[in-house]
């Protein structure tokens, strides 16, 4: 999913310069996959030594469909599955959740060639449906509340794409 750049500062007086130290390393990580440029500062573990686990599989072709099938078997309901993680965006402050795995959903909806209500033909509009659902779900799950799952109802997102369709072609990616 991503390359990892790390820097451990032993001197607290250097914390103000952390960005200056990390920026060249992050720029050098141009082939890190679907993650974005960003960093986290970690301190000593909190009470209870809690750990955040990100559901990720090192095999990019992991069959998320299997998870979807198991959920359907257990619940008796056909569901789409979106696995998400936080993502920092170029030219924007703040992080949003994006899809890193998907099954049973339309991950990318292509509007190119269709006409808007004024008759203008759309030439580049592709909606990251799975990313939009992931971001909306994160608002319900919260960043600190430790809610692992959100159920999204009423969204017209059924399909058979994976999150792989959301990855930009390297030839058109300004950040690779």
CATH no. for residue 82? 3.30.1330.100
Nearest one of 165, 159, 141 to 79, comparing CA atoms: 159
Q: What is the largest CA-CA distance in the chain?
A: 61
**Domain carrying residue 63:** 52-172
Give the number of residues written for the chain.
Answer: 176
Distances (CA, A) of 136 to 19, 77, 116: 30, 21, 25
Same domain, 62 and 11: no
**What does the mean pLDDT of the chain come to?**
77
Q: How confident is the model at residue 131 (pLDDT cuts 50, 70, 90)?
A: very high
Mean pLDDT is lowest, of 16-25, 47-56, 134-143, 145-154, for 47-56
Q: How far apart are CA 154 and CA 97, in angstroms?
A: 19
Same domain, 10 and 74: no
Q: How far apart are CA 31 and CA 1, in angstroms?
A: 10
Same domain, 34 and 74: no
Mean pLDDT is lowest, of 10-24, 43-57, 84-98, 147-161, for 43-57
Same domain, 38 and 58: no
Residues 111-127 as b or e (16 or more Cβ within 10 Å = b): eeeeeeeeeeeeeeeee
Q: How far apart are CA 32 and CA 53, in angstroms?
A: 20
pLDDT digits (tens, 9 = 90+) for 67-90: 888 888 888 888 888 988 888 877
């Amino acid at each position: 999913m991503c390359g990892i750049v790390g820097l451990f500062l032993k001197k607290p007086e250097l914390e103000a310069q952390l960005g200056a130290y990390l920026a060249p390393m992050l720029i050098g990580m141009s082939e890190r996959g679907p993650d974005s440029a960003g960093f986290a500062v970690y301190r000593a573990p909190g009470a209870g030594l809690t750990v955040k686990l990100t559901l990720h599989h090192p095999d990019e072709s992991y069959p998320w469909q299997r998870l979807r099938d198991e959920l359907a078997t257990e619940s008796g309901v056909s569901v789409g599955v979106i696995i998400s993680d936080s993502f920092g965006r170029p030219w924007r402050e703040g992080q949003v959740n994006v899809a890193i795995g998907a099954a049973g959903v339309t991950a990318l909806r292509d509007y190119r060639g269709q006409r808007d209500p004024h008759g203008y033909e759309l030439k580049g509009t592709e909606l990251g449906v799975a990313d939009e659902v992931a971001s909306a779900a994160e608002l319900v799950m919260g960043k600190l509340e430790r809610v692992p799952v959100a159920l999204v109802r009423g969204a017209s997102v059924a399909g058979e794409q994976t999150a792989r369709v959301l990855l930009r072609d390297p030839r058109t990616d300004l950040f690779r």
